Structure 1
Amino acid sequence: MNTKIKSISNGIVKEIININNISVLELDKEEIINLFKSYGILLFRGFMANAEIFKEFSNSLSTDFINYAGGAFSRRVINGDETLLSVNDFKSEIKLHGEMYYQQNIPLMLWFFCANPPLKDGETTVCDGRHFFNELSSSTKKLFKKNNLKFTVRMSEEDWNKKYQTNDLSKLEEMCQKNNTHLQINADQSILLEYICPAIIPSRCGKYQVFINSLLPTKQLSPKILKFEDDSEIPDEVMSEINEIAEKITTEISWQKGDILMIDNTRILHGRRAFADDQRDIYIRLCSPVFPF
């Protein structure tokens, strides 16, 4: 046996630990796929991976890698590869969310790689969206099933050029159309974007309901841009309930150098604790699985 498999904390994260000094590239792909389908999140630890090994390993299980055009944060491109990005835009907490759930086309799978861990804090937080849905009160489930979320964003020409990585209005219009996002272009080339989506979605197998969205970090960082579809506010007591549930069911991952994390972005929410030092260097890749799930 070359690896040991154990659960972190409450069992959501399956940790695959190298106990026989093998490369992560030697792992049985079918076993990985089966574990991923069952748990939605896998942590590979002790394999002494570097950025190139991380890319090769993620390439072997993934397809349709995307860049971060349209993304909410600034992300540094690593080694000239637009599908390999640093997540350290700032150091404050980011609450639990699904990646890029403020647009229609989301990456179905996420990969994280620890190039360098923080000196302290900066844990990645995760939870299962199925579990989150089950923890919601009946009234909150009913509220979110009845009301979609609406993101309304105003951006200057300079800002949307940077966010969408283009200064071509026709390309912007094409991206918004593909993402089912309403686009209004103003005379000064500033824009207004509106995107409407549910907070609760069916699981890919259709058997479960999943609470996964970008609600918590948006309300945390840019509260004015998010309301219900009818322009009513999300009640404070509902936000308090959601934040309490998030803290209750969160699992924290304390990074070690060379760690690789594999996440189902249709089921698992992720976030980050705040940190203070400049050592933390975590990379992300956005993609789809090469296998059906």
Structure 2
Amino acid sequence: MLPTHIGGRDILQSRKALIAALDKHNGILLVRDSPVTDASTMKETLSNEEDPLISSMSYTGGSNNRTALVDGVLDAGTEPHYLHIPEHSEMAYLDRFPSLISFACVLPATVSGGSTTVVESAAVEGRLPAPMRAKLRTLGIEHVMYYGSEGVKTWQLAFSTSRPQDVEEYARVRGWALRWTPKKTGVYLSYRRASFLQHPRTRGIVLSQTDLSGSFYGPRGQHRGWAPFASMEFHRQPYSFRWGDGSEWTEEEKDSWGRAKEASLRRVEWQKGDLLLLDNLVAMHGRLPFEGDRKMAVMLGDPYERVQPDRGGWRGGMWVDSLKPSTVL
């Protein structure tokens, strides 16, 4: 069962109360009968001037196309309705990503489906084979992004600029490798990062990753799914990944990640006025297929910086060379 606060206005009265509830419930909290019914009331409730519950952040560098419904609130669930969006921590493939995320139900699926799935990252880690856990700790992940006219999102939209030199500078200061396609219509970015991070409140070391099943765009190697990306070679998709040493994930490793998530999934069966709050550092979310109309709003907030040069990456047996530029593209 999900931790549910019926009419949880006490939880929404202060940031202190919200954070305490999230920490108590392992980063997953569903507020029923909230005052949030659309993008405007979401912003009003979560970003009130006296005591903002979430410090909103932009979607810079994100891999999907999202429209701002109002300032600080984006549309959500825009991927094809027939897909099961695999569970992931939002934007955890980037160096700067939200530590808090909130979803509001504006309109549940009018025909069927559309549940949001949630899973605790610790549960996923615990179900992975021991060799995979060891590789995650020692090798980290190399993330490979493609932004271009053939992808989901152009680099101009991803980085809010029309100047290639701005993207080059963005990559340079982060130690990312960069390669332009001919005429700079698209760009590949690659960077190696630790799989684990230190939680800013609990100080515990936690697994925080995007989906590593290799099936975000649909079943691997098949035409079923998000066309045309599902049928592309994996390394040509808008987002792909390798181990931090440049070696490829095996199909069994990708399947192991998917099975570990599926074994611990819980569902949010949406009702209008529901507000789902997640600690994005310790919980993952996904979405099941749906039919009919469905409208969701999302607010990203409290950005976390994965790479912190003054500390040189995380120590204690973790893969620590998080500032080393990638050389594999």
Q: Which runs of 5+ in 1 are unaligned?
A: 1-8
Q: Distance in 2 between matches of 1:213 and 1:162?
A: 23
SS of equivalent residue, structure 1 residue 258: coil
Give the number of equivalent residue pairs: 271
Superposed, 1:16-31 pairs within 5 Å as 16-18=5-7, 27=13, 29-31=15-17
Q: Distance in 2 between matches of 1:49 and 1:181?
A: 39
- Of the three residues 265, 275, 281, the one matched with 1:260 is 275
Instruction: Tell me which residue corresponds to 1:220.
Output: 216
Deviation of residue 217 (structure 1)? Answer: 6.1
The structure that is helix-richer by fraction is 1
Is 2:84 the partner of 1:89?
no
Deviation of residue 205 (structure 1)? Answer: 4.8
Contact 2:214 2:254 in 1 (8 A): no
Instruction: Tell me which residue corresponds to 2:62.
Output: 71
Instruction: Tell me which residue corresponds to 1:175.
Output: 170
Instruction: Tell me which residue corresponds to 1:162.
Output: 157
Instruction: Tell me which residue corresponds to 2:318.
Output: none
Moved more, 197-206 or 166-175: 197-206
Contact 2:12 2:53 in 1 (8 A): no
Instruction: Tell me which residue corresponds to 1:211.
Output: 207
Note closer, same or farther for the CA distance 1:25–1:41 as it changes in structure 2 (3 Å cut).
closer
The residue identity in structure 2 corresponding to 1:84 is V
Note closer, same or farther for the CA distance 1:217–1:87 as it changes in structure 2 (3 Å cut).
farther
Superposed, 1:114-153 pairs within 5 Å as 114-119=105-110, 120-153=112-145
- Of the three residues 75, 94, 98, the one matched with 1:107 is 98
Deviation of residue 135 (structure 1)? Answer: 2.2
Moved more, 184-193 or 65-74: 184-193
Q: Which runs of 5+ in 2 are unaligned?
A: 218-228, 304-329
Question: Taking every aligned residue pair, what percent have the same amino acid on both sides?
Answer: 22
- RMSD of equivalent CA atoms: 2.5
Note closer, same or farther for the CA distance 1:213–1:151 as it changes in structure 2 (3 Å cut).
same
Note closer, same or farther for the CA distance 1:219–1:231 as it changes in structure 2 (3 Å cut).
farther
Moved more, 212-221 or 123-132: 212-221
Q: Distance in 2 between matches of 1:26 and 1:110?
A: 14
Deviation of residue 137 (structure 1)? Answer: 2.3
Contact 2:15 2:54 in 1 (8 A): no
Q: Deviations over 1:148-172 (max 9, x none)?
A: 2112234437821133232122332
SS of equivalent residue, structure 2 residue 36: coil
Q: Distance in 2 between matches of 1:231 and 1:57?
A: 44
Moved more, 52-61 or 111-120: 52-61
The residue identity in structure 1 corresponding to 2:105 is C
- Of the three residues 276, 280, 284, the one matched with 2:291 is 276
TM-score, normalization by structure 2 = 0.74
Q: Deviations over 1:39-70 (max 9, x none)?
A: 2121111134233332122112122x222221
The residue identity in structure 2 corresponding to 1:285 is M
Deviation of residue 26 (structure 1)? Answer: 6.8
SS of equivalent residue, structure 1 residue 238: helix
Q: Distance in 2 between matches of 1:37 and 1:24?
A: 16
Q: Deviations over 1:181-224 (max 9, x none)?
A: 32234551232211222333343356644332113365432632
Contact 2:57 2:302 in 1 (8 A): no
Note closer, same or farther for the CA distance 1:178–1:61 as it changes in structure 2 (3 Å cut).
farther
Q: Distance in 2 between matches of 1:204 and 1:128?
A: 17
Q: Distance in 2 between matches of 1:26 and 1:133?
A: 31
